[in-house]
Structure 1
Amino acid sequence: MAKVKGAIVVDTEACKGCEVCIPVCLENVIGMSTNINRKGYHYAVMQNPEACTGCTNCGIVCPDRAIMVYRVKVSA
């Protein structure tokens, strides 16, 4: 059976660092960057990318629509 591998892409300039995405990520993939964007906010990043399943929870709860979620089937 094929497994699903996920990845997120964060629009770093749209992210305001609200951290709403972190608690909904059941795989603990998302963290906050130590860098800041042009508005002065720390933005979300994938800190544990190999654990991402592409569940889309983070993209759904993001109030700024700054997170795009991608999924790919990989053979087991």
Structure 2
Amino acid sequence: MAKFRGAIVVDNERCKGCSLCVVACPVKVISLAKEVNAKGYNYAREYVEDTCIGCSACATVCPDGCITVYKVKCD
């Protein structure tokens, strides 16, 4: 059976740093960046690489639809 891992892409300029995705992530791989976007918000980012399980909880709770979740097949 093939194994999958997840990966997220955050639209940094649309993210307003509400932290809902940080709370929703079951494996705690999302945090708010110390840097700010053009609007002055600390945006969400995946800070632990190759740990995301691709559950899409973060994308589901994001009120602005800033997060895209991908599932990558592992060899």
Q: TM above 0.5, one fold?
A: yes
Using the size of structure 1 for normalisation, the TM-score is 0.93
Identity between Structure 1 and Structure 2 (%): 49
Residue aligning to 2:20: 20
Query: What's the C-alpha RMSD, in Å, of the aligned pairs?
Result: 0.8
Off by >4 Å, runs of 4+ in structure 1:
none
For the pair 1:42 / 2:42, whether they are aligned, the reply is: yes
Residues 7-28 of structure 1 show CA distances to partners (whole Å, capped at 9, x for unaligned) of 0000000000000001110111
Amino acid at match of 2:22: I
Gaps of 5+ in 2: none
Count of aligned positions: 75
Structure 2: distance between partners of 1:61 and 1:3: 25
For the pair 1:66 / 2:66, whether they are aligned, the reply is: yes
Residues 19-75 of structure 1 show CA distances to partners (whole Å, capped at 9, x for unaligned) of 000111011110010100010000000111221011100001000000000001213
Gaps of 5+ in 1: none
